[in-house]
Chain A
């Protein structure tokens, strides 16, 4: 079992729709969760971080965390063609310097 699992996609949504990206993780003691966006040929860009159960909203993005189910998701409202990228879920076990584990990413295509 992979430590952080994501559906590789591609996930295709029409412009203006809600894109839903999901991630599961295996380490129950994980404390910190991150979503990164990576455009082709570029480095990952931090979108959201979430540390406690529930929802966290930032503009068009909402991160959702359920530690009991070991599940974290990212919703993108009013999807735009510029949102087309690979979205990486990342999980860290404890506070401080512990390593961050990344999923392989989900490719998102937003059709104009």
Chain B
């Protein structure tokens, strides 16, 4: 049973660029949430997708956007990257928003 997968594992971008991160949920899960985790902090909720719609959003600017596809996979897009966007980006999947299981994460470094 495949767990949550994310790609890429690591990414280095320059300020002002745009980035797309990808996530495939655990088999049988229909809900995907994205989190940002800075060093030494807990994960911060960015948004959640269910039935291809953004169901709830955390305190992140519009530069952060996402999408969910019919197969439940999801993308996180970040535009106009800032140095402060450097973090571990985590995708978590669940069934109907219940217990969440995390993928391995994407480490984004903005220079």
* Chain A residues packing against B (C-beta within 8 Å): 4, 34, 36, 42-46, 49, 88, 90, 95-105
CB distance from B80 to the nearest CB of A (A): 24
Q: Is B25 on the interface with A (CB-CB < 8 A)?
A: no
- The answer on a CB contact under 8 Å between A42 and B56 is no
CB distance from B104 to the nearest CB of A (A): 5
Known: A46-B99, A104-B40. A99 touches B58 (CB 8 A): yes
Known: A97-B55, A97-B56. A43 touches B42 (CB 8 A): no
Instruction: Give the residues in chain A near B88, CB-CB below 8 Å.
Output: 43
User: Could you say which of B31, B40, B43, B105 contacts A97, with CB atoms under 8 Å apart?
Assistant: B31
- The answer on a CB contact under 8 Å between B45 and A45 is no
Q: Which residue of B lies closest to A102 (CB)?
A: B42
- The answer on a CB contact under 8 Å between B44 and A102 is yes
| Number of residues from B at the complex interface, CB < 8 A | 25
- In B91-108, which residues have CB < 8 Å from any A CB? 96-97, 99-105
27 contacting pairs across A/B (C-beta < 8 A): A4-B42, A34-B99, A36-B102, A42-B104, A43-B103, A43-B105, A44-B43, A44-B90, A44-B102, A45-B102, A46-B99, A46-B101, A96-B96, A97-B48, A97-B50, A97-B55, A97-B56, A97-B97, A98-B56, A99-B33, A99-B45, A99-B48, A99-B58, A100-B33, A102-B42, A103-B42, A105-B42
Rounded to whole angstroms, the CA-CA distance of A54 and B30 in the bound complex is 30
